Amino acid sequence: MKKVKFIYNPYSGESTIALDLDKIIMVHQKYEHIIVPYRICNEYPMSNAFADINEGYTYVLIAGGDGTIDSVVNEMKKRNINLPIAILPAGTANDFANYIGMPHDVCDACNQILESNVKKIDIGKINDKYFMNVASTGLFTDISQNMDINLKNTIGKLAYYVKGIEQLPNFRKLKIKVTSEEVCFDGDMYLMLVFNGQTAGSLKFAYNAKVDDGLLDVIIIKAGIMKNILNIFIKMLRNEHLENVEGIIYFKTKRLEVECFEDIVTDIDGERGPDFPLIIECEKNGISILGTKI
């Protein structure tokens, strides 16, 4: 029997993944795989999850949101563990799992994973941290970091929009310098998003992004009059194309440098990111994955 390392966050989303453990074991046993679980909690660091990793393991199964996925992937990169990963969407934010076509039904997701072939996909890197879906900075980027966990788990992605609306009166221009082969921008902005995936808060901002093209999709919302900004956010909420829209810079690149001297933070899939200056890169074919429909 082949072994699968199963790392799960019992507090993700509606905290139901622990109740699905029997279903996960059942489906894997049908395919002659043994589940070896590791429960993420404050008492035990993520590094303990891989203490027993050897050639007997076939892949790492992750149950949680985008932040949980990033935590596991960063630990694997740190330890040079090259096993494929697979994702069970179980968090408040499941943008990357949704993008790659993972079902929310646990049995369907497990079957899809176990019947799939390994695919190599890109991964983003911001300084010394890796991210699967999106890195960001500017207005709104500290929302998920400062949000009450009960609010996130109760109303999900709506919580992000509620907190975002609360910040509208605090809009201010942020001086930033972005340098890449394709675009150089030295000016004022409100928000910058760098996508490996396509969505943030279930909104498809980076509709042209591909996870296997060796490129990141960059969106910069330039500072301007409030009327233009409101129109841009309406377009975003409607999932309309953002290319050639006044007030937006949208481009693809494999590497960019970002300088900023404002009192703002960076965000990696809902978790605190590194401090400025930033080097953001796409690591082509940086990780292997199972179950993807893309």
pLDDT at residue 98, rounded to an integer: 94
**% helix, strand, coil for the chain, step of 5:** 30, 35, 35
CA dist list (Å): 175 to 15, 114, 222, 264, 274 = 40, 48, 10, 11, 18
pTM as predicted: 0.88
pLDDT at residue 155, rounded to an integer: 39
Q: What is the pLDDT of residues 29-75, one digit of tens each?
A: 999 999 999 999 888 888 899 999 999 999 999 999 999 999 999 99
Q: Within 13 Å and on the Cβ side, how many CA atoms surround 165?
A: 5
Closest CA to 259 of 167, 196, 184: 184
Which tokens hold the place of 271? Answer: 């978790």
pLDDT at residue 209, rounded to an integer: 93
CA distance 245 to 152: 32
CA distance 254 to 216: 6
Q: Is the separation of the CB atoms in 98 and 205 below 8 Å?
A: no
Which tokens hold the place of 132? Answer: 């699967």
Question: What 3-state DSSP class applies to 198?
Answer: coil
pLDDT at residue 17, rounded to an integer: 83
Local confidence pLDDT in tens for the 294 residues of the chain: 899 999 998 877 666 787 899 999 999 999 999 999 999 988 888 889 999 999 999 999 999 999 999 999 999 999 999 999 999 998 778 999 999 999 999 999 999 999 999 999 999 999 999 999 999 998 766 555 555 544 444 434 444 444 554 555 556 789 999 999 999 999 999 889 999 999 987 788 888 899 999 999 999 989 875 556 667 666 666 666 666 677 889 999 999 999 998 889 999 998 899 999 999 999 999 999 999 999
Region for 264 from its dihedrals, namely left if φ exceeds 0, alpha if ψ lies in -120 to 50, beta otherwise: beta
Q: What is the pLDDT of residues 205-233, one digit of tens each?
A: 888 899 999 999 999 989 875 556 667 66
pLDDT at residue 110, rounded to an integer: 98
CA dist list (Å): 193 to 14, 53, 82, 121, 258 = 27, 35, 28, 20, 12
pLDDT at residue 18, rounded to an integer: 79
